[in-house]
Amino acid sequence: MAVRELEIKEEFMEQFNENIPSDSINKKVCVFGQGFVGLPLTLSFAFRGCETIGVDVDEILVKQTNEGMTHHTEMFHDVTIKEVLNIELNNGRYKATTDGGEAVRNSNNIIVTVGIPIKEGEYIIDYLKSACETIGANLKKGDLVIIRSTVIPGTTEELCLPVLEEKSGMKAGEDFYLAYASERIAEGLAFDEFANMPTIVGAINEASLKRAIEVLSVVCKAEVIPATNIKAVETSKVFENVQRDVNIAMAQEFARFTEGLGIDIFEVVKLANTHKRVNLLTPGPGVGGYCIPNAYHYIQPKAAEMDVDMGILKLARAKNAELPAFIASKAEGLLCKMGKSLNGSRIAVLGLAMKDYSNDDRISPPIDICKILIEKGAEVRAFDPVVPTKYSFKVDSQEDALKDADIVMILAKQHEFNLECSDLKSFMSENPICMDTKAIIDNNKAIEAGFEYWRI
């Protein structure tokens, strides 16, 4: 471990030693939220020499993190996030806690990555508000607060600022500093993108902006881009996410059109994207994760307040929300073609993560597809080697999932899957069906192996 730790340290320092803060005020950082964003962000500050504290309300998560355990699959320069975590724990530059008040009192820079969940189309602001209350009650003169959660535009100034001022008894911009910096990373690339993706920041005044840029520059090697106001940054972040929701909905309609023509949507997209001003997305089994499915719901409340029609965005969100039901219906149709019924059929599902090579199953289309199939009477056995969540329909191996299955659905890629057609078929029932939503299997090989093959 000592040799490995030395190698990692040398690699990190070679990459980032110019970013190590020389002044003590920028060295003490606490981050509220230790999930897919918060943990790699906190560790990004830690391995650049900062004293960091990660705050989370989940006692089990905090205990596991302090023991050096994490289910995250982030990598940075071939170093796993688990290795980084253990090094920083051993060095005393990172610790996790449920005591947010103590963390704020022992820090000069407080970063908030607490999410705003969406339930049945309504946003839940309670967690962010609670974090701000804790922060405000423990703020010190001269502290910096940076909100990095994805929020409804206006939230930082209309919710966070008054709560912080009320609880602290201090004035933002005079007694403490307040800024908003959008989180722009993709899961699986967090360490790299925190460093190399331009960071956009807005603040309530020039002094807050200056302090925020100094702190963000500890981690960000790329440009830290100042905006004229906080709302512009909040809105740009939501727009970044919602445009992908719209583009994915368009890709799904293109897929139905090309299927009707009897041609391959993935080839069509590849051809179209040779145009320098075209960048079509490829279709899949649905839109998952915490960011994109929620994006419209972060825009809609403010749009309604301003009486602004967002009909295209609403339609795109509705179209994408229907995709799991479409996949289930397609399975039913393919089974019918083979003289079978969905009710009573066995369906093997490979991949439960919300996207490829991830362990994140939040708002995951594969989970929704499994539940719909079960409701329709199918026996579902799903395998995903990296998703830690337990489900009644989840099994421990690919073979267990495939045994006597009528359909194999490939819903997310994972490195551990064996997707050789002959191997897949050897475990399955007669006249098997392969539903390949990731275009990962060669069409001709699947047919040669004896599959009824369908690609989204």
**CATH number where 285 lies:** 1.10.1040.10
Confidence tier at 75 by pLDDT (50, 70, 90): confident
Do 36 and 83 fall into the same domain? Answer: yes
Task: Provide mean pLDDT across the span 397-423.
Answer: 97
pLDDT of residue 121: 82
Q: How far is CA 309 from CA 29, 145, 237, in A?
A: 41, 33, 19
User: What pLDDT score does 1 carry?
Assistant: 46
**Cα separation of 39 and 190, whole Å?**
10
Of residues 408 and 20, which shows the higher confidence score?
A: 408
The verdict on 188 and 261 lying in the same domain is no
Distances, alpha carbon 270 to alpha carbons 90, 264, 266, 278, 356, in Å: 48, 10, 6, 10, 19
d(CA 64, CA 47): 20
Q: CA Rg, the chain, in Å?
A: 24
Would you say residue 11 lies in a domain?
Answer: yes
What's residue 18's pLDDT?
45
Domain final position from 274, 296, 320: 320
Q: Comparing 112-121, 427-436, 443-452, which segment has the lowest mean pLDDT?
A: 112-121
Domain ends where: 228, 248, 278?
228
Answer yes or no: is 359 within a domain. Answer: yes
pLDDT value of position 252: 95
Summary mean pLDDT of the chain: 93
pLDDT score for 3 = 53
Instruction: Provide the pLDDT for residue 84.
Output: 95
Using the 3D structure, point to which of 320, 340, 369 is the last residue of a domain: 320
* pLDDT tens per residue across span 38-66: 999 999 999 999 999 999 999 999 999 99
Give the pLDDT score at 16.
Answer: 46
Q: Report the pLDDT value the prediction gives residue 419, as an integer from 0 to 100.
A: 96
**What string of DSSP letters covers 314-350?**
HHHHHHHHTHHHHHHHHHHHHHHHTT--STT-EEEEE
Convert the pLDDT of each residue in 366-380 to its tens digit.
999 999 999 999 999
Same domain, yes or no: 441 and 386? yes
Report the distance separating Cα 229 and Cα 279, nearest Å: 30
Name which of 112, 106, 140, 141 is nearest 128 in CA terms: 112
Per-residue pLDDT, 5: 55
pLDDT, residue 87, reads 95
Kindly list the catalytic residues: 237, 291
Residues 328 and 307 in one domain: no
Tell me, yes or no, whether 46 and 173 share the same domain.
yes
For residues 196 and 299, give the distance between their C-alpha atoms in angstroms, rounded to a whole number: 27
Q: Which domain holds residue 182?
A: 2-228
**pLDDT of the residue at 455:** 93
Query: Does the pLDDT value for residue 406 go beyond 50?
Result: yes
Q: Over pLDDT 90: what percentage of the chain?
A: 89
- Say if residue 148 is in the same domain as residue 63: yes
In this structure, is residue 285 part of a structural domain?
A: yes
Is 70 exceeded by the pLDDT of residue 4?
Answer: no
Which pLDDT belongs to residue 188?
86
- Cα-based distances in Å from 213 to 26, 234, 409: 11, 16, 47
pLDDT tens, 293-341?
999 999 999 999 999 999 999 999 999 999 999 999 999 999 999 999 9
Question: Is it the case that residue 26 has pLDDT exceeding 80?
Answer: no
Report the pLDDT value the prediction gives residue 66, as an integer from 0 to 100.
Answer: 98
The DSSP annotation for 127-141 comes to HHHHHHHHHHHH--T
> For position 290, what pLDDT does the model report?
82
Phi-psi region of 33 (alpha: psi -120 to 50; beta: other; left: phi over 0): left
Q: pLDDT tier at 120 (50, 70, 90 boundaries)?
A: confident
Q: What is the CATH number of the domain that holds 101?
A: 3.40.50.720
Mean pLDDT of 356-361: 92
Q: Decide: residue 274, CB within 10 A, 0-12 exposed, 13-18 middle, 19+ buried.
A: exposed
* 208/347 same-domain check: no
The answer to the question of residue 233 being in a domain is no
d(CA 381, CA 273) in angstroms, rounded, equals 37
The verdict on 9 and 138 lying in the same domain is: yes
The count of other CB atoms within 10 Å of the CB of residue 366 is 28
59 domain residue, yes or no = yes
**Residue 252, H or E segment:** helix 230-261
Is the domain of 221 the same as that of 242?
no
Show the tokens assigned to 456. Answer: 């989204």
Indicate the number of domains in the chain: 3
Instruction: Give pLDDT tens digits for 192-232.
Output: 999 999 999 999 999 999 999 999 999 999 999 999 999 99
- pLDDT for the residue 127: 96
pLDDT of residue 20: 56
Give yes or no: residues 372 and 421 share one domain. Answer: yes
Q: For strand 433-436 and strand 94-97, is the pairing parallel, antiparallel, or unpaired?
A: unpaired
Contact 440, 413 (CB under 8 A): yes
Residues 98 and 204 in one domain: yes
Q: What is the DSSP string of 425-456?
A: HHHS-SS-EEEETT--S-HHHHHHHT-EEEE-
Residues 6+ apart with CB under 8 A from 311: none
Residue 289 has pLDDT above 90, yes or no: no
Same domain (yes/no): 362, 219: no
Q: How confident is the model at residue 9 (pLDDT cuts 50, 70, 90)?
A: low
Average of per-residue pLDDT across 121-126: 90
